[in-house]
Amino acid sequence: MKVILPDGKELELADGASGLDAARAIGPKLAEQAVLVKVNDEPADLRLPLPDGARIRFLTTRDREDPDALYVLRHSTAHLLAEAVRRLHPGVKVAIGPPIENGFYYDFDFPAAITDADLEPIEQELQQLIAEGRTWSRDEITRDEAKARFAAEGEPYKVELVDTAEGGISLYTQGAFTDLCRGPHLQDAKPIKAVKLTSLAGAYWRGDSTKAQLTRIYGTAFFTQADLDTHLARLEEARKNDHRRLGRQLDLFHFSELSPGSPFWHPRGMVVWNVLEDLRRSENAARGYVEVRTPQIYDKELWVTSGHWEKYREHMFTFQAEEREYGLKPMNCPGHCALYSDGAWSYRDLPIRMAEAGNLHRNELSGALHGLLRVRMFAQDDAHLFVTPEQVEDEVLGCLDFGYAIYDRLGLDIKVELSTRPENKLGTDEEWDRAEAALAQALARKGLEYQVNAGDGAFYGPKIDLHMRDSLGRGWQIGTVQLDFQLPQRFGLTYQGADNVEHTPVVIHRALIGSFERFIGILLEHTGGELPVWLAPEQVRLVPVGEGHRGIAAALHDRLAAAGVRVGVDQRDETIGRRIRDAEMLRVPHVIVYGDRDSEDALPVRSRGREGVRTLSLDALVSELATL
């Protein structure tokens, strides 16, 4: 048999030769340093036989930043972690331990609870295993053999994993530890030069909150200590961009125990909010949306009709007044349906694009709250489009266009996901076929790449989700475009068709900025607080040099403000250096020191992210700000 190397040369090998055999045939150094072999671009274990004619490429310890190589390194480290934990905590049961984006974890069922203080001895034990030396061997056995083996070892989680594993059963053994595992793994532990156990967490077995809660140990590993140091330094840097920290530093908002999960917006934060709100309103107007305003609280009856009382009640704030039961709205849709049902509509009226950025309250689980990114009170750039089935695709495309007008303006990197029919769906397969096709078609027309999340759709219809990441790489949903066949039926919504028959409209739920809270939070993390000038709470700050310059600074202030610039004057009796520093700390984009040397024809403008001081006339500055 033969395989093809990256340079196009062919390599002759004995039948059944493994990746390691191929590496040895190329050179002993390669064989020693090889971490995994890519077979036709798919990562594979070195110990496995190569298919005849495959294109192969080796990744070695020198590919220390390659995600596939790091994956293998971390996967093997996870196995070492399990061995170390078993040594220190006899009686522990092991569950599952995969590599993840920036490291790995392993889930354990400890006989007695452990705490953070237990991590260090475990890490030392893990280092000890590496020092002792470990090599991995791979065995394939039958399902029954595997079950018998793990049952004998008293590892019920492993037995369950064997039951649900797909394909052949393989085991990897290092030292005194054997794990059910698909691989690939390192040849030995030598490449693991840097390990750190980072945290402890609870995690439900199989991700199911009705099942046992296990103890998850997170860690990370690298091919060099320097890479680990860089990684930790980067995390520390990211911490500085945490929007909760920036919110306080920039005086934008704060949280209080008096109302967990609901931000207090400060004046400066409210400026940012209102600029976004202006954008929302003007874009809506330009795109044929109409603004409405619907109640905050509704009789229980509305929520029963919409289905929320049954499906969502524990996440709603409810209360009684005069013996009626009310619910505070967690979303605008039922209110918009109620508004729609007040009229009699013709197909000529559709599409109706109904927008409202109303306050919403959701009783999120206390443990899920996360700064501005997960709150109990928020407002979305929400809209509901009442459309005919024929209009769905065009309207979805219009929503995507709308969204990308905003995202592109901010230079945001959006990840698109299409979520399709779940198991507990309502409606027929034919309806879902049409709806999913309409969404896919709109995405194709917009030229967007997307990931399909099969089965992740809402029970009432498929959806397009638009995600962004925070400074630590955690993903958050920003926008969403959802089709809904159910709500219009539940509310008995109709329009008169051209055929003089009543039809049921389709509802498109749509939010593009998503919640203003989350959007501002993510923007802060992405910009490190340096919001684009058009969003900055204060765009220009004037610093009069001495007391004698205050009058003219005030006059300049008024002229800039009249030109629509958000401008402030720092009249404090502090040094110039001090006042500049404070403006920089607040990330004010432009600072102008004004004294005897200056005039409105020649202002010294110190601009964020730009070396030195520019000299600009007042008019030039105003027109520069106007183009943003």
Partner RNA sequence: GCCGGAGUAGCUCAGCUGGCAGAGCAACCGCCUUGUAAGCGGUAGGUCACGGGUUCGAGUCCCGUCUCCGGCUCCA
The residues annotated as belonging to the active site are: 333, 362, 380, 382, 384, 463, 509
Interaction between residue 315 and RNA (CB under 7 A): yes
Distance of closest approach, residue 52 Cβ to RNA, in angstroms: 41
* Residue 584, phi then psi, degrees to nearest 5: -65, -40
Secondary structure of residue 436 in the 3-state scheme: helix
Which is it for the CA torsion 302, 307, 311, 312, positive or negative? Answer: negative
545 alpha carbon, distance to own chain's centre:
46
CA distance 334 to 504: 16
Interaction between residue 216 and RNA (CB under 7 A): yes
Interaction between residue 268 and RNA (CB under 7 A): no
Angle at 273 between CA 272 and CA 278, to 5 degrees: 100
Q: Which of 84, 276, 458, 535 binds RNA (CB under 7 A)?
A: 458
**What residues from 515 to 574 belong to the interface with RNA (CB under 7 A)?**
545-547, 573-574
DSSP string covering 107-174:
EEE-SS---GGGHHHHHHHHHHHHHH--B-EEEEE-HHHHHHHHHHTT-HHHHHHHHH--S-EEEEEE
Strand partners, 324: 321
Q: Which of 8, 28, 113, 236 binds RNA (CB under 7 A)?
A: 113
Q: Which of 189, 331, 508, 553 binds RNA (CB under 7 A)?
A: 331
* Residue 213, phi then psi, degrees to nearest 5: -95, 125
Interaction between residue 591 and RNA (CB under 7 A): yes
Q: Which of 410, 459, 496, 534 binds RNA (CB under 7 A)?
A: 459
CA distance 368 to 381: 22
Interaction between residue 261 and RNA (CB under 7 A): yes
- Residue 183 Rama label (left phi>0; alpha psi -120 to 50; beta): left
Q: Which of 477, 489, 496, 504 binds RNA (CB under 7 A)?
A: 477
Q: Which of 225, 474, 555, 626 binds RNA (CB under 7 A)?
A: 474
Is residue 164 packed enough to be buried (19+ CB in 10 Å), middle (13-18) or exposed (0-12)? Answer: exposed
Interaction between residue 164 and RNA (CB under 7 A): no
Interaction between residue 604 and RNA (CB under 7 A): yes
CA distance 574 to 388: 64
Interaction between residue 420 and RNA (CB under 7 A): no
Which one of 70-78, 138-146, 598-606, 616-624 is the stretch in contact with RNA (CB under 7 A)?
A: 598-606
Interaction between residue 490 and RNA (CB under 7 A): no
CA distance 333 to 355: 10
Interaction between residue 207 and RNA (CB under 7 A): yes
Cβ(219)–Cβ(200) below 8 Å: no
Cβ(562)–Cβ(573) below 8 Å: no
Interaction between residue 25 and RNA (CB under 7 A): no
Beta carbon nearer to RNA, 17 or 221: 221
Interaction between residue 226 and RNA (CB under 7 A): no
Interaction between residue 454 and RNA (CB under 7 A): no
Which one of 51-59, 140-148, 317-325, 361-369 is the stretch in contact with RNA (CB under 7 A)?
A: 361-369
Interaction between residue 111 and RNA (CB under 7 A): no
Residue 2, H or E segment: strand 2-4
Distance of closest approach, residue 145 Cβ to RNA, in angstroms: 30
Which one of 75-83, 87-95, 206-214, 410-418 is the stretch in contact with RNA (CB under 7 A)?
A: 206-214
Distance of closest approach, residue 614 Cβ to RNA, in angstroms: 10
Interaction between residue 366 and RNA (CB under 7 A): yes
Distance of closest approach, residue 159 Cβ to RNA, in angstroms: 21
DSSP string covering 199-213:
EEEEEEGGG-TTSPE
Strands 590-594 and 540-544, sheet pairing: parallel
Interaction between residue 577 and RNA (CB under 7 A): yes
Is residue 122 packed enough to be buried (19+ CB in 10 Å), middle (13-18) or exposed (0-12)? Answer: buried
User: Which parts of this chain interact with RNA (CB under 7 A)?
Assistant: 113, 115-116, 199-204, 207-209, 213, 215-216, 218, 242, 244-245, 248, 255, 257, 260-261, 308, 311-312, 315, 330-331, 362, 364-371, 374, 458-460, 472, 474, 477, 545-547, 573-578, 580-581, 584-585, 591-598, 604, 606, 613
